[in-house]
Amino acid sequence: MLSSEYRVVVGPEGYLAPAAASMGIVLPEPGEGLIEGVIVPEREAMHKIAEKLLTAKNPTFFPGPLVLWAWNDKAIAKAQAVKALAEAVGAHIIPMPDYRPKYPMINPQIEINPNHPNLTIWHNDIDVCVFVGVHCHYANLALKIIRGGTDCYTIALCGEFGHEDAMITLRDVNTAKLCTLLEVIEEAKIEVGVR
């Protein structure tokens, strides 16, 4: 496959999925997002996120340490916004409290770990997941493993520059942007008749 034809789509992609960056996928600029490796206007990515979450069987949010811990006012507010989003789409929330390898002691029912995220996804049969508040290195580590070994659709709401290894990503995500996404989701719910 030519690298320019590579798309970041639902797996299982294979024994060892490549980093999307090494297949030619580039991160979005401010105001843009990525859908399956293609750069799109941010709004379009938000609509796609709404569609994916609202049509999922078991959507699940994976909040990471940057929002799980109340280390500053922004984190506390962002955590509230994440929770509101999850509630709006009827998603479960499974935390990623830290990044240490926890295998084999992990309880995949109630937590996820970036070194073996597939265990939590398989155990709970999660078909769409959202990463938020995870340090970028660990998010990418996990997103590749998920694409390689599971059929879970991945969404990354990144506070920095975004994640090529997710199927949809937004960048510069702060509380305000989460609120905009919530509005998009609420509109989409009306459109598709979800109550």
Piece of 46-54, 109-117, 124-132, 186-194 that binds other proteins (CB under 8 A):
109-117
Question: Which of residues 119 and 168 has its CB atom nearest to other proteins in the complex?
Answer: 119
**94 binds other proteins, rule: CB under 8 A:** yes
Which of the ranges 40-48, 49-57, 111-119, 121-129 carries the binding residues for other proteins, by CB under 8 A? 111-119
In sign, the C-alpha dihedral spanning 89, 91, 96, 97 is positive
The helix-helix angle for 175-192 and 73-88 (nearest 10°) equals 10
Nearer to other proteins, 41 or 101 (CB): 101
Distance CA 161, CA 101 (A): 25
Distance, in Å, from the CA atom of 152 to the CA atom of 12, rounded to the nearest integer, reads: 8
Question: Dihedrals φ, ψ of 90, to 5°?
Answer: 65, 35
Q: How many CB atoms lie within 10 A of CB 143?
A: 29
Query: Can you tell me which of 8, 11, 20, 35 binds other proteins, judged by CB under 8 A?
Result: 20
Task: Report, in Å, the least distance between residue 191 CB and other proteins.
Answer: 27
Give, to the nearest 10 degrees, the angle between helix 42-54 and helix 175-192: 60
127 or 165, CB closer to other proteins?
Answer: 165
Please tell me whether residue 136 binds other proteins under the rule CB under 8 A.
yes
Q: Is 4 helix (H, G, I), strand (E, B) or coil?
A: helix
Residues that bind other proteins in the complex, under the rule CB under 8 A: 16, 18-22, 26-27, 63, 65-72, 75-76, 79-80, 82-83, 93-95, 97-101, 103, 105, 107, 110-111, 115-116, 119, 135-138, 140-142, 144-145, 148-149, 160-162, 164-165
